[in-house]
Structure formats: structure tokens, C-alpha cells
Structure 1
Amino acid sequence: MHIIDLIVFLVFTGGVMLLGCSFFKKKTSSDEFTSAGRSLPGWVVGMSIFATYVSSISYLGYPGKAFAGDWNAFVFSISIPVASYFAAKYFVPFYRNIGSVSAYSFLEERFGVWARLYASMCYLLTQIARMGAILFLLALPMNSLMGWNIQLVIIVTSIAIIIYSMMGGMKGVIWTEAIQGFILIGGALVCLAVLLFKMPEGPMQTFEIAAQDNKFYLGDLSLDISSSTFWVCLIYGIFINLQNYGIDQNYVQRYHTAKSEREAKFSALFGGYLFIPVSAIFFLIGTALYAYYKVYPDLLPADIQAKADYVFPFFIVQELPVGVTGLLIASIFAAGMSTVATSVTSSSTIILTDYYKRFRKQASDKEQLLVLKIGSLAIGVLGILVAIAFLNVNSALDAWWMLSSIFSGGMLGLFLLGYLSRKFVRNFDAILGVVCGVILVAWITISPLVHDNLAIVFGTLLIFCVGFLSASICNRFRKKA
């Protein structure tokens, strides 16, 4: 790495870490650690939501998908406005009025302790898997740039993230995410511009090659549910984003940090809608990489071409001007660090609210802060182990989508069952629905007949339908008796 690139990288990433640590206060309460004192403006929370979406999974995974294939995965982004609308209209006011920072306290009130623990455990597993994918993709460019050991980069980066997450709490995480959001957008735009103007016949050549090779294809419109068609990606996107906005602690916790309900609603819309054009930029980068290396095939080694996730880091190292390389690496780190910090902070919150305080209801505020910090450390260590395991996958994006769909366990179905049915559905009906849903998710995972991404879709629908039908049948028999 050129000394200028190294300076640019260190200034950006070091500055972000110092910013997060600057929010450290000796007298921080556990409430301020988890909800930032409900004092943040909507645009900051919205940028935080956006930065949570745009992890290194997006920064490297999306270009990798577009390079190796087409824009089929972009359909996921198209689904976001549906979830954003429901979040602003229904989820934000609902969660700000329930009186708990935990996204799963409602499930306990509605169905009992088991429902809260089931949903929170699914959430923790999902976050650990997500952290693993992100940390792995963070390490790739540093391995390409410096030849540094990927495992070592994962460990050092994780330690840095854990430190500023533990020191700054939710306020520090959200403000650093807002700054990181601007950095990653700027880096992506600069890289796309360089790619387009590096083409021998100008920017339009990229679009001509992409159009000829059908690289903007959004997917097959058939009803085949065993492959990644347009409809599979769209339906998966709608369900996973409804789950994100409706029952994901990362998002629910942010609703509590805004200084008013109006600001919280704005943040939900702003963060989701901003992701659409930015994700399009990432896919366009992948398409531009395809066109560039089609014009200059000798510049891309065969071993790099075989692993799509490595192509963008390779281009950054070999083709970008001095200074811009440092900016892009800083952008990738900004994208990954923001999301991992979110997962660390929100997961530690769940460990405290859903588990520790269940056994220590009279825990002092000092004790709760200690649990939050120990929980952050434990989640960070587990994320490191999963990240190292990601060395064995071909596409980090595909692996993450599969794991998120499986670990979600249809908990969106349980939430909708409690939220929409009011008191009509009882505890037994919900248990029956969840058991059926988990069995179906397990079957989809091992079956070649249904695409893995649809596990969350069918799991959610089955939990809701079984629970509702069971309640209807039982209530009918009760009335006859």
C-alpha cells in the first residue's frame, strides 16, 4: 500500500474509532447506553439505519454478485419501501409505546416467556452469522493489499469495534454510523466514476457491454420456487425487511433513540429509501468491473476471477489512483464497522434485558452496565469465530442470505400472530404454530425443492396460519361446550 493510501485509511478509520470513544462517560446509565437518552435527531438515526443496511456484505458482496451474474439480487432492495412504510405507520409508534427497549418484550406479554426467549435466541444467532460475514469481507481487501493474514485482520478489527462500542454505547455507535454512511457513499461514487472513465471508449461502453451480455437482468419471472427467480428475491426481500423493521433489535432499538415519534418515523423512511440508490451503485460497480475486465481480460488472474468477492478488492489494489485506494478501503471498513458495532450493542442489550434481568430483577445500574460490556465482548468473540469459518464459502452474500433465512426461524410469523390477532390466539396455538414452522424451515434447508431464501417466507406463513386456525378451531369447540 502506498504511504498516502495508508495515511488516508488510518485517518478515516482511526477518526471513526476516536469519535465512537469520545462519547464515553463515567456516569453513563444503562438506559443511556441502550437508547442514547432518546435525544437523537431523525436524520442521524436514519443514516444509522442506512449504514446498518450497507455493511461490507453490500460493499463487496453486491459487486461480486453483479460481476459473476446479473442484477437479480437487486430485487431485494426494491422490496424495502414496503417494509419502510409499515415501519413508519405501525411499528415505530407501537414500539415507542410499549415501554421496553427490547423488541421481544411484547411476545412475552402476549404468549409467555418461551416466545420471548425463542425470538431473542433466533435474533442472537442471526447477528452472530451476520457479524461473521461482515468481518470476513472486511478482511479481504487488506489481505489483497498488504498480504496480511485474514484471521489476524478479523481479530484486530473486531477488537477495535468492540472497544468503541463498549465505550460509546448506542449514542456513540449511531453517531459514528452516520459519519460512516457519508464516507461509504463517497467512496462508492468515486470508485464508480473511476471505473466508468477507465473504459477505452468512455462510460457508455460499460452500459453497451452490459446490455449485450444481459447483465442488468433482474431474474426469471417464472413461478419456480427452487431457484433465485425475480419473485423469490422479491418475496424474500419483503419478508426479511418486514422482519428487520418489525422485530429486529437493531432497528427497534433505534426507534427508541430518536427524540420524538415523528423523528423516529422519518428515520425509518429515510434509512430504507436511501439504501435503494446506493445499492444500485454497488451493483453498477460490479457490472462495470465485468465490462472493464472483458475489455482487459489479461489484467484479471484466473484465481481471482473464480472468486467473485475478491474481484472488487483486486481492482482497488491494482487500478485505483493513489489516495483513492485508501479512501475505498476506509469506505469498506466504515460499512463493516458500523454494522458490526450495531450488532454488538443490540445483542448485548438483548442479553441484559431478555436473559440477565430475568434472573436478577433488582440488578443495580452499575451491574447492568457491566453485563452490557461483558455481553458485547462475548458476542464479538463469537463473531470472530464465524468470520474465520466464512473462509470456506464461495459467496459470502449467498451464505449470509441462507443463514439469515434459517436462523430467523419464522419469528416474524410469531410477531404477526400476536400483533394482528390481539387476544384471539392463545399460548397453545402459538406454540403449535412455531413447532410446525421450525419443522418446515428445517425441511426447506435440506430439500432441493425449495430455495433456501424462502425458508423465512414459508416459515412465517405456516406459523401464522397454524396458530390462527388452531385458535379458530379451539374457540369453536369451546363455544359448543
Structure 2
Amino acid sequence: MSLIDSLVLAFYLIGTLAIGLYYVGRNRGSKDMFAAGGKSPWWVSGLSGFMTLKSAGTFVVWGGLAYREGVVAIAINTCIGISAILVGLFVAGRWRRTGVTTPAEFVELRFGRGAVQFYTWAMMGVRILSTGVALYAVSVMLVALVPLQPGNLLRDAATGQLSVSFAIFLFGAIVIAYTVAGGLWAVLMTDVLQFIILQLAVLFVIPLLLLRLNSGIELVPLPATFFSPLSEQYTLWFMAGWVGVHFFLVGAEWAFAQRYICVPTDSDARKSAYLFGALYLISPALWLTPPILFRMMRADANPEQAYILASQAVLPVGMLGLMMAAMFSATASAISGQINVFAGVLTEQFYRRVFRPAASDRALVAAGRWFTLLIGIALVIVALLVPQLGGAEKIILTLTGLLFGPLMAPTIWGLLSGRIGARAVLTTALVSFAAGLWVKFAMAVGAPFGASAIAVWMQGNPRITDVLIGAVLPVVVLAVAHLLARGDHPAWGAIRARSANYVPTPLAPGEDVDDAPARIVAICLSASGVLTLLLALLNERDQGALVLFGAAMLGIAFVAWRVSAPSPPAAAAERGPSA
């Protein structure tokens, strides 16, 4: 990575910190810190949810699969779009109508305080693992671009590159800093900016790779099934199970549920989920195309590095730094969202309830920042241990396939029906976890039950086995609990009363609609567009592409600024007085 690329990356990281500092003053209470005051625009919430699911791990794990097996990686990720659309239809609006500040508050109302403790520690452990993988992945991609001379204190002697540990500490410190400072507002705003930069950067790489492929280079032979949406392991049954797993994940995982809570109305919550789903129906075909095209050029690359190597092969000076910034952006979105939501849970459900019931809003914000710092430190430690835990791909597939469904399915069932209680929550999780451990250890090759016919089938179909345990088994357990229940759980009445008394907040000028997100996006994109146009002056080749890229960012910035412009007095008068 050149000096200019490094400067572009540094410029972006400083800008990310600046957004967090800008929002320090807006966190006057815990609702501002963890629910954006309930005033987040629906499109900000939808884009933030979309970015929360993406990270450098997306490009390492799914980019690696796309490089190895082709279009099937696109099909797998498109399933998430279907899941999000279903969440918009059945779940998102219900979250907003409950009137809670955090998802943990709903869990306590619906299942009791014991369920909150179980969910908090189980989900925090799972999410620290998954976001630790994301932090590790973006660090691995950075160090692949930074060779260092012998004797440099930051050099890894085994690889000759920048130390992965240093990269983890650097990226981790930046994410923790802006999340501590700005709370959920900072998370939402950086997510929007990161979404735009990432999508533009990916769109920039695709035509350059196509031009390289059409330049007369010798194409590498591809596997026969490379352009098939299904494969031996990733069958139609797997795809159906993947939709189910992500319906539970996107509908009930606390970082996503927080996006449905932080908007003004239930209609906004549904629209945010629909936007999330629409983006995931379209975007996988875009951001997984580069490793597929790169596979036509090289067959000997490390799959985990295929995406960044494809970018390095075609991007002009300066743009590789922007692509690395985009990778960091996606990772920062995933990490900061998880840190914020669990810091909110610990602040509201433990600090205030157990230690300081009469704590002021100022004290709660301070406690939230300390919890944010502690969770961030734990995440950095996990990132350092990823190689010892089996590597990024193994961790992500196991967590998603086996663990998220058993944890999230009871919450959605409890949001839609009153016939299950805390016992069903614990039974679903324990039965599913026990089944997963049994399959992984007792029915593995060479294990005591590894020679049976069903074990041999599971060994040959590990991905379908994961979704059977992670998506089908929890639904079966919950259905049995539902049918055996003698009536609605006592807590269901309180939830129904809250929903029945819910009244959408009318939009009032200057109150419910916050124009700051669009203004900040406009300013940041303008700065990025000007920077890209300056890069065009430093490149002898691809100047036209750089100018086009910079002009696109400036065009989007102009639209965002117009959207953020205050309403003229006449229009404001027609809308009525402020509430």
C-alpha cells in the first residue's frame, strides 16, 4: 500500500472519530445513548441494520467462498434479503409498538428478569466471538498490504508484514473511541456513511476487473458448477434453512431489534426492515462479483485474501486506501452496533436496577461509556485469539448455523404469541445446544457414534445439519411448548396492553425529523469526493474512472444536502405547530 493509500485510510479514520465526537453532546440521557431518542429516520435505521450484518468477515468468509465455489455465495447471501422482508411483514412494527427502550427491556417484560440474564450473557458471548472475528479479519486484510523492513518494531517476523496484533489494537481503539463518545447516534451515522463509501468502492472495482479480463490476458479454467446458485453442500434445503436462521437473527437479535425501536413509528420500523431486505436482495451480486472475476485471473490466491488482492490488482493509487477504509467501515459498523446494544443492556438492566436504582441520566451515560469500553476490550482480546479458535470461516459458520436460531427464535415467538414463557426459552436453547454438541463431538468421524448411518449422512452434509439444528429444531421445540401450554402466559397481558395503547408520534417540525444525519452525510461525502478528484491528478491511468467516482460522491452529497435543507416557513405553517 502506497503512502497516498495510507494517507487516505488515515483521513477516513480521523473522520470517523470526528463523527463520534460531534455526537457527544446529544447523549443527555440513556434513551439518547442507546435508542437515539426514538428519532432516527427510518432510512438511517435501515442502512445501519444492513451495515451491522456486514464486516470485513463478510469479504473474508463469503468472498473466499465466492472465489472457491462461485455464484453459490451470492445465492446464500441473497437469502438474507428474503429474511429481512419477512421481518418487515411480521416483526419489525411489533418491536416499535411495545414502547421499550432496549430489547432487553422487552425480554424482562415478557419472560422475566432471569431470562434477561440468560440472554445477556449468552448473546454477549456469542456476539463478542463473531465481532472479534470481524476485527481479526479486517486486520488480516490490512497487514497483507503493509510489508515492513527488518528491525521495525511493528513487523511480524514470521510474515515480514505489519503485525496483526498491532492492527487489531489500532482498529479496535478507533471503534471503541467513537462508540464510547457518540453512542447509538454515532453508530447510526457512521453506518450510513460507510454504506455509501463501501457500495461506491465495490462498484468502482467491478468495471476495472472487467476491463482487465478483456485486455487479452489468459483466463483461468473454472469449476463446472462455478456459475450455479446451488452446490453439493449448499442445496435448496440449506437455502430454506438459511432464510429461517436469518429471520430469527434479523428479527430478534438485539442489535437489529434496536434499529426497529429507535425510529418514531411502527411504520418507520417496517420500512427500515424493507430497506434492509431490498438492499440484501441486490447487493450480494455486486460485492461478491470481484472475487468471482478475480478467480478468472488467478487460481492460486489465498481465498481469504482474494477480495483485497483483486482490489490491489486494478485500483489506482489512493483508491486502495479507500477500499481498505471501506472494509474497515463495514467492520466498524458491525462492531460498534454490538458494543452499543450490550452496553445499553448492562447499563439499564444491571447498573441501574442492581447497583443504582436512582441514578441520574448523566450517571447512566457515564456508566454506559464504561461498559462500552470494557466490552470493546473483551472484543479485542477475542480477536487476538481467533487463530487458536479455528479460524474465521469455521467460527462464523458454526455460530450462525447452530447458535443464533436457538437464542433468537423464542424472542420472536414471544413477540407474536402469548403461549410460551421463560421455561420454553431455556428449554429451546438447551435442547438445541445439546443437540449441536452431540452432533459435533459424539457423531463426528472416529467418535463413539460416528459410524452410524445418520452420523455418516451428517458428516457428508455439515451445512444442512447446522441449519436443521439451528433453525428447524428450535421451531419444533417451541411448537411443542405452544401446544402444551394451557393458556397465555401472565406477562402477555402487559405486552398486549402496551401495543394496544401505542399511538404513532406525529411528525413535528424540528422535533421528530432529525435533519442532521443527511447534513453529516453530505459534508463527509463532499470531502471524500474532493479527495478522490485530487487523486485523479496523481494518477496517469484511470483518471476518468477516478473523476467519475468523485463526481458520483459529490452528486450524492448534493442530494443529501437538499434533503436536509429546512422546510420553508410556508410549508412549516401548513404542517401545523410544533408539538
TM over 0.5: yes
Partner of 2:337 in structure 1? 342
Match of 1:150 in 2: 164
Task: Name the residue aligned to 2:570.
Answer: none
- Residues 67 and 287, structure 1, Cα contact 8 Å, conserved in 2: yes
8 Å CA contact 1:87–1:245 kept in 2: the answer is yes
Asked if 2 retains the 8 angstrom alpha-carbon contact of 1:54 and 1:275, the reply is no
CA distance in 2, matches of 1:202, 1:122: 54
Shift of 1:275: 2.4
Residue 10 (structure 1) shift: 1.8
Which residue number in structure 1 is paired with residue 348 of structure 2?
Answer: 353
1:102 offset after TM fit, Å?
A: 2.3
| Displacement after TM superposition at 1:136 (Å) | 0.9
- Structure 2: which 5+ residue stretches go unaligned? 147-160, 445-454, 490-579
The alpha carbon displacement at 1:45 in A equals 1.6
Say whether 1:248 aligns with 2:253.
Answer: yes
Match of 1:478 in 2: none
Distance 1:76 1:121, change over 3 A: farther
Q: Does 1:161 align with 2:168?
A: no
* Equivalent of residue 275 in structure 1, options 266, 276, 280: 280
Is the CA contact 1:136–1:391 (under 8 Å) kept in the aligned structure 2? no
Shift in alpha-carbon separation, 1:231–1:176, aligned structure 2, 3 A: same
CA distance in 2, matches of 1:49, 1:431: 27
Question: Is the 8 Å Cα contact of residues 74 and 280 (structure 1) preserved in structure 2?
Answer: yes
Change in CA separation of 1:4 and 1:430 when aligned onto 2, cut-off 3 Å: closer
Tell me how far apart the structure 2 counterparts of residues 426 and 42 of structure 1 sit (CA, whole Å): 31
Q: Deviations over 1:369-400 (max 9, x none)?
A: 12211111121112112212223477623421
Question: Which among 205, 211, 214 is matched to residue 225 of structure 2?
Answer: 214
Cα distance in 1, alignment partners of residues 482 and 101 from structure 2:
28
Q: What residue identity is the alignment partner of 1:351?
A: L
User: Which residue in 2 is equivalent to 1:308?
Assistant: 303
CA distance in 2, matches of 1:134, 1:429: 32
User: Aligned partners of 2:287, 2:297: CA distance in 1, in Å?
Assistant: 15
Distance in structure 1 (CA, Å) of the matches to 2:198 and 2:216: 25
- Change in CA separation of 1:405 and 1:214 when aligned onto 2, cut-off 3 Å: closer
The corresponding residue for 1:224 is: none
Q: What is the distance in 1 between the residues matched to 2:231 and 2:204?
A: 32
Check 1:433–1:472 CA distance in 2 against 1; reply closer, same or farther (3 A cut): farther
**How many Å separate the matches in 2 of 1:196 and 1:248?**
38
Paired residue type of 1:103: P
Aligned residue among 194, 198, 208 for 2:208: 194
Separation in 1, partners of 2:370, 2:278: 35
Question: Which of the two has greater helix per residue?
Answer: 1
Q: Give the alignment's TM-score, normalised by structure 2.
A: 0.72
Which of 393, 400, 405 aligns to 2:396? It is: 400
Give the paired residue count: 455
**Are the equivalent residues in 1 in contact too, given 2:290–2:310 (CA < 8 A)?**
no
Comparing both chains, which one has the higher relative contact order based on Cα–Cα distances under 8 Å and sequence gaps of 6 or more? 1
Partner of 1:289: 294
Output the CA distance in 2 between the equivalents of 1:468 and 1:202.
63
C-alpha RMSD of matched pairs (Å):
2.8
1:174 Cα shift? 0.3
Correspondence for 1:331 among 311, 326, 329: 326
Counterpart check, 1:321 vs 2:316: yes
**3-state DSSP of counterpart to 2:144:** helix
2:120 aligned with 1:124, yes or no? no
Q: Are the equivalent residues in 1 in contact too, given 2:70–2:226 (CA < 8 A)?
A: yes
1:363 paired with 2:368, answer no
Structure 1 stretches lacking a partner, 5+ long: 222-226, 295-299, 476-481
Per the alignment, do residues 110 and 19 of structure 1 end up closer, same or farther by CA in structure 2, a change over 3 Å counting?
closer
Contact 1:144 1:317 in 2 (8 A): no
Whether contact under 8 Å (1:345, 1:376) holds in the other structure is: yes
CA-CA distance at 1:427 after TM superposition: 4.7
Whole-Å separation in 2 of the counterparts to 1:419 and 1:32: 24
Matched residue type, 2:371: G
Q: Is the 8 Å Cα contact of residues 165 and 172 (structure 1) preserved in structure 2? A: yes
Amino acid at match of 2:380: I
* Corresponding letter in the other structure for 1:160: I
Contact kept in structure 2, 1:136 and 1:387, CA below 8 Å: yes
Contact 1:72 1:230 in 2 (8 A): no
2:101 aligned residue: 101
| 2-structure distance, mates of 1:415, 1:328 | 37
Whose radius of gyration is greater, 1 or 2?
Answer: 2
2-structure distance, mates of 1:117, 1:159: 28
Amino acid at match of 2:307: F
Q: Are the equivalent residues in 2 in contact too, given 1:4–1:322 (CA < 8 A)? A: yes
Equivalent of residue 238 in structure 1, options 232, 243, 262: 243
- Superposition map of 1:43-122 within 5 A: 43-122=43-122
TM superposition shift of 1:202: 6.8
Q: Quote how far apart the aligned CAs of 1:430 are.
A: 4.8
Counterpart residue number, 1:479: none
Task: Give the drift of 1:21.
Answer: 2.0
Q: Displacement, 1:406?
A: 3.6
Distance 1:231 1:376 in 2: 39
Query: 2:432 maps to which residue?
Result: 437
Measured in 2, the distance between the counterparts of 1:414 and 1:421 equals 10
C-alpha spacing 1:89/1:464, structure 2 compared with 1 (3 Å)? same
Contact 2:47 2:191 in 1 (8 A): yes
Q: 3-state DSSP class of the match of 1:363?
A: coil
Q: CA deviation at 1:170?
A: 0.6
Distance apart, 1:230 and its partner CA: 3.4
Give, in whole Å, the separation in 2 of the partners of 1:153 and 1:133. Answer: 13
- The verdict on how the C-alpha distance between 1:121 and 1:466 changes in structure 2, with shifts beyond 3 A counting, is farther
Counterpart of 1:231 in structure 2: which amino acid?
W
State the 1:165 CA deviation: 0.5
8 A Cα contact 1:308 1:395, kept in partner: no
